[in-house]
Amino acid sequence: ARSRGAAGAALLPSMLMFGVILASSGLLLMIERGILAQVGPPPLHPPGGLSRRDGRDSTAELELEVLRDTRNRTIRALCGQRSMPRSVWELPPGQRRTVLRHLLVSDKYRFLYCYVPKVACSNWKRILKVLDGALESVDAKGKMDHKSDLVFLGDMKPEEISYRLKHYYKFIFVRNPMERLLSAYRNKFGEIKEYQQKYGVEIVRRYRKNGGNSAGDDVSFSEFLQYLLDEDVERMNEHWMPIYNLCQPCAVRYDFIGSYERLHADANHVLEHIQSPSFVRFPERQAWYKPVTAETLHYYLCNTPRRLLKELLPKYILDFSLFAYPLPNITSEFCRQ
């Protein structure tokens, strides 16, 4: 509780500043509508990518333009503040290690990709391995090795790091923060024994009376969110650490921000830009994968104490705001639907 209070105190000035930035740029209303409206706003991310008839669908094209303009304006407004880092070398050592550990390098195709767990990063790692010749096909069977045959920027010398940050194409893929947290929760505590034993047992012991006999496989979503609320952001596991902290979009100027919501269209844009071979394509979703649907997210959010969600939002507010995602709608009217 003490660490949460300290973190909250440290966060408050920057959040007040950010609120002023959003209000002055006219974006605050757009964000508020996601939590205040009885029915959520039309999606800024067309789920199936841009539809084509005699060219691109004008409505989808306009929505995409608004989305990218909103992101660019908000990132410029926040990152233009004096207190914000201008490069990775201005970050505290711990934050610098985190971002450099998440920037994957392709020297052959001259790009840097900041991988975000639960945002299709396994498939992007497959692509990097295929481009490097370490993997024959993106459809190769077998468990994904997240370390071998990959080059991490953090393993390079300072001058090598600076050169690549300055000259290489840099991209990142983002996702609705609450959807990403729910995906991590369902995957790690519903399917992965290692996470159940390492985190689940501790979460139940900490937040449930007489929870000492749990194997960590019955963590509730509310218990998971309470754990995140009490956890220091900088010490979080990468699967639920905010995207801002993982990839530091102020210290690293990304050339392209792709969306999970239009994954294939944005992935194709990146592959075309880096001039990858024509046989390299973004993999299709695995048959076993259980996607987080709007209905699933609605169910979990509406069955979670509102107090908990409201207290947790400040930890992820930069992910919502910078990447133009509406805050979760948890009004009584919406939850009755």
pLDDT tens, residue by residue, 24-51: 344 444 434 443 333 333 333 433 443 3
Q: Map tokens 């076993």 to a residue.
A: 288
Predicted local distance difference test score (pLDDT) of residue 101? 97
Q: By the 8 A CB rule, do 228 and 178 touch?
A: no
- 56 falls in which pLDDT band (50, 70, 90)? low
Q: By the 8 A CB rule, do 49 and 265 touch?
A: yes
Mean pLDDT along residues 230-249: 97
Residues 6 or more apart whose CB falls under 8 angstroms from that of 161 comprise: 88, 100, 153, 154
Is residue 37 domain-resident? no
Is residue 142 domain-resident? yes
- 336 falls in which pLDDT band (50, 70, 90)? confident
Total domains present in the chain: 1
Is residue 298 over pLDDT 60?
yes
Predicted local distance difference test score (pLDDT) of residue 224? 97
Percent of the chain with pLDDT over 70: 80
Give the relative orientation of helices 58-79 and 2-24 as an angle to the nearest 10 degrees. 120
Mean pLDDT of the chain: 84
Percent of the chain with pLDDT over 90: 63
Predicted local distance difference test score (pLDDT) of residue 62? 87
Q: By the 8 A CB rule, do 198 and 187 touch?
A: no
Q: By the 8 A CB rule, do 4 and 229 touch?
A: yes
Distance CA 112, CA 172 (A): 9
pLDDT digits (tens, 9 = 90+) for 125-156: 999 999 998 888 887 766 666 778 899 999 99
Predicted local distance difference test score (pLDDT) of residue 2? 42
Beta-strand pair 256-259/169-174: parallel
Distance CA 294, CA 323 (A): 19
Predicted local distance difference test score (pLDDT) of residue 276? 94
Is residue 199 domain-resident? no
Q: By the 8 A CB rule, do 327 and 248 touch?
A: no
| pLDDT greater at residue 62 or residue 112 | 112
In one-letter notation, the amino acid at residue 236 is: M
Is residue 201 domain-resident? no
Predicted local distance difference test score (pLDDT) of residue 54? 42
Is residue 228 over pLDDT 80?
yes
| pLDDT greater at residue 310 or residue 142 | 310
- H helices of the chain, in order, are 2-24, 28-36, 58-79, 93-102, 121-131, 158-167, 177-191, 193-195, 201-207, 221-230, 243-247, 263-273, 294-302, 306-322, 332-336
Predicted local distance difference test score (pLDDT) of residue 288? 63
| pLDDT greater at residue 199 or residue 67 | 199
pLDDT digits (tens, 9 = 90+) for 163-192: 999 999 999 999 999 999 999 999 999 989
Is residue 324 domain-resident? yes
In one-letter notation, the amino acid at residue 132 is: D
Q: By the 8 A CB rule, do 195 and 219 touch?
A: no
Q: Map tokens 């979670």 to a residue.
A: 304
Distance CA 287, CA 140 (A): 14
Q: Residue 321 belongs to what domain range?
A: 67-184+231-336
